Structures are given as C-alpha cells and as structure tokens.
A = this chain, B = another copy of it.
Amino acid sequence: MVTLKDIAAEAGVSVMTVSRVVNGQFSKVSESNIKKIQSIIEKRGYVPSLSARSLSSHASRIIAVILQGDASAMEYPYNAVLVGQICYMIQDNNYSPMLYYANDYKDITRRLRSWYVEGAVFLGMFDSNLRQIQADNQIPLVFIDSYSSVRQITNVGIDDYKGGELAARYLIEKGHHRVAFVGGYSQVSGVVRQRLNGFRHALEQEGFPLTEECILSDVPEAEVLKKLCHGSEPVTAFFAPADVNALQLIGQLDGLGLRVPEDCSVIGFDDLFFAQYTSPSLTTIRQDIHRKAQIAVDLLFRHIGDPGAPAENITLDVQLVERSSVCDLHEKR
C-alpha cells in the first residue's frame, strides 16, 4: 500500500507538498514539483486513503440513500428508478452513494454518524419522525415524497393531490359515475393519502361522492371485487394509486372474468415503463421520476456546498397519460 509518505520520500519533498498536489492546490506548488510528483503517483499507483482523509477532514464524500422498507422496496420499479438515478448522480459528483434500508430512524442516525456522511436522501414514508431525523443529524437531508407539517425540511415531491383529481375528473368525463380506489403500495403513506384525497375531493365536487366501501385495501379479496362490480349499482372504474397496483388489479379482474376496459376501467399512477406495454396499455397519471431525482440531488449538493441555504419544498407537476385501460361509457351506449 503506497502512502503519501512514500511518494514524498521518492520525490524528495514533504508529505505536505504531495498532499497539495493530490488535492489540486496547484497554485501553491512549483511547476516542476507538480510534474515530478504526479508522475511518481502515476508510477506507484498511489490512491489516497479516504478513511484517513475523512478522519482528518471530517468529510467522507459519502452520501447515504435511505430507502424505507426492506429488500422488496427495490422490486417496486418506481423506487428502483429513483434510487438508480440518484446513486448515479451522486457518483457523478464524485461522491459515493451508500444504500441503506431503514425502518427505524435510530438505526439511520447511527449509520449516518459513524461514517462522516455528508448528506442523505430519504425515500419513503418517514413522515412522522422526520423532524427527529433532522435534529439528530446535523447534515443536509433531502426527503422525497414526504408529507410532513414540519417546516425547514427540504423535500421533493409531486402534486399527488392533483393526480388524484385528474384521475377522478377523467373517469367522470368518460361517464364513470361509480368508481373505487384500490390500495396503496404498502401502507397508507402520505403520498397515497393525498392521491386519495384529491380523488375523493374531485368526485365530491362533481357530485359523485366516494363511499367508504369503495376504498379498498392493497389486495382486495376476490369476493369484495366481485360484489362491487356486480351489484345493482356496479363500480365501472378503479383508480389505483400506483401502476403496480393497477397491474395486479387488472390481473385479478381478469381472473373474475371481467375484461379491462370493456367490463371495467382502471387508471393507474406513476407511468412506469411497463405501463405502455401492458394489455390494455395503462391510462395513468404520469410523474417525472428522473426529474425528481435530479432535483433532489441538486438540492442536496447545494446544501452541502452552502449549509446555510434555506430549506425548500418542491412540488412537481403531474399529468394524465391517456392509453387504453379506461373505456368511454358514452361511446359504449
């Protein structure tokens, strides 16, 4: 293992001079030494020890990416794309991303402190103890998709409420008056709640309020679905607050002999890559995941560069993508 000292010895200068060259403080070292040292570094294959560096400077160039839940969180393509994008951009900024799964915020705090982690991005539902996380870790934090009343939190999210409204209005426009809401991707997070609220609110406004029995949990029983779709006043359309749910729902409806969109319609949320390939292709509310990641990372680095920067709460827009999983009841008649 080659160290600064070795390089210094070989170059006949002090460690300090080598350190300056390694760290690009060229203005403080003579031209000739820079060249000599660089060539020795190259020749010997010297790589700075980041452990030593971070011990000494209290800056590790590590960013933690923290995912709520367990391994299955990455099976959800939305998270995968987001994490992938975020980690890539972290690396692009010459930092190293550490990927953590967490449920317990104490554990997070431990991990963030133990390396001198310089910043963290949180994905998922840390709504409740978010303030605590912030307080316990005196480093820049960026949350994604968090709903919290706490001020002074930097968060990047989308207009989930509007997404719900869009879905409701679209379904009504297509003549669906009795509709249902199916599930959240794991628990009822703030995100799902907002989508539901927007959905519910728009329905009310349009005069078709959502009844309680039309709000279904993640994986509704076949029985329940059947009853809803076959009653005297059958549900003709479903809003799933995630494409993955929509997909599963379509599968289930299929199993009950209900064709989508002929027999009942489904609208999703996210517009994940597979949405255009499913059959029927999914009508869904689109959000720009890449942009979300980009903004989150940009904000994080801004805060790392300038710890005094004010917290920001960014809300990105969503839009409806019309495909073929919703039928027009007007045409049908």
Flag A239-263 by CB within 8 Å of B: 1 or 0 each: 0000000011011000000000000
Q: Which residues of B contact A51 (CB under 8 A)?
A: 51-52, 54-55, 60, 115-116
CA distance A114 to B110 in the complex (A): 23
A91 within 8 Å of B (CB atoms): yes
Cβ of A14 within 8 Å of any chain B Cβ, yes or no, is no
Q: Report copies per complex.
A: 2
Interface flags for A256-296 (1: CB within 8 Å of B; 0: not) read 00000000000000000110111110000000000000000
- Chain A, residues 93-122, CB within 8 Å of chain B (1/0): the string is 000111111000000001101111000000
Does A88 contact B115, Cβ atoms closer than 8 Å? no
| A98/B97 in contact, CB under 8 A | yes
Q: Does A81 contact B (CB under 8 A)?
A: yes
Chain B residues with CB under 8 A of A60 = 51
- Which residues of B lie under 8 Å from residue A80 when comparing CB positions? 74-75, 77, 80-81, 83-84
Q: Please indicate the chain B residues that have their CB under 8 angstroms from the CB of A274 in the complex.
A: 247, 274, 278
The residue among A65, A89, A250, A279 with the most chain B CB atoms within 10 A of its own CB is A279
B residues near A52, Cβ cutoff 8 Å: 51, 55
Question: Roughly how many angstroms separate A115 CA and B115 CA in the complex, as a whole number?
Answer: 12
- Bound-state CA distance A89–B23 (Å) is 35
A8 interface residue, CB < 8 Å from B? no
CB neighbours of A116 from chain B (8 A):
49, 51
Residue of chain B at shortest CB distance from A111: B96
Whole-angstrom distance between the Cβ of A57 and the nearest chain B Cβ: 10
CA distance A96 to B97 in the complex (A): 10
Bound-state CA distance A251–B278 (Å) is 9
Choose among A48, A51, A77, A110 the residue with the greatest number of B CB atoms under 10 Å from its CB: A51
**A85 at the binding interface (Cβ < 8 Å):** yes
A-B contact pairs, 22 of them (CB 8 A): A49-B55, A49-B114, A49-B116, A50-B114, A51-B52, A51-B55, A51-B60, A51-B115, A51-B116, A65-B99, A71-B87, A74-B83, A74-B88, A75-B77, A80-B80, A80-B83, A91-B101, A97-B98, A97-B99, A99-B99, A250-B277, A251-B276
